[in-house]
Amino acid sequence: MNTPANLKYAKSDEWFDPASGAMGITDYAQSQLSDIVFVEILVEVGDMLEVGKAIASVESVKASAEIYSPVSGKVTAVNSGLSDKPETLNSDPFNAGWMIKVEGGKAGDVMDAAAYEKYCAERTH
């Protein structure tokens, strides 16, 4: 499982980069979903987010899932290319697979990489 140390992680399997304001789904989440075939971003540039607000909907060959914001703040960018290439979430969830970016964000209940890895390991047993 890929868990970059510079990111913060929510128990609902989203990541947040405090440096860039980017967020998306974790490597663990994409592996659980399997082949992602559809992505819909539910927010627009300029929207104000609250922790826990749905920011996207993702469908895979196995399941569908809502993606929730791990931070509050103002949406500054949306990765609209994901709707044309939803498989990017499987192949590159932390770089090209970012979903939205926020500014002025305040993180909710997030973990560092080590705590998130431990949390994921506990769920698989």
pLDDT at 109: 87
- In the predicted model, what is the mean pLDDT of the chain? 94
Q: State how far the Cα of 75 lies from the Cα of 1, in Å rounded to an integer.
A: 28
pLDDT digits (tens, 9 = 90+) for 17-44: 999 999 999 999 999 999 999 999 999 9
pLDDT at 1: 85
Architecture of domain 9-117 in CATH?
Beta Barrel (2.40)
Q: State how far the Cα of 97 lies from the Cα of 94, in Å rounded to an integer.
A: 6
Burial 89-108 (b: 16+ CB within 10 A, else e): bbebbbeebbbbbbeebeeb
Residue range 61-86: average pLDDT? 94
Q: What is the pTM of this model?
A: 0.93
pLDDT at position 73 over 80: yes
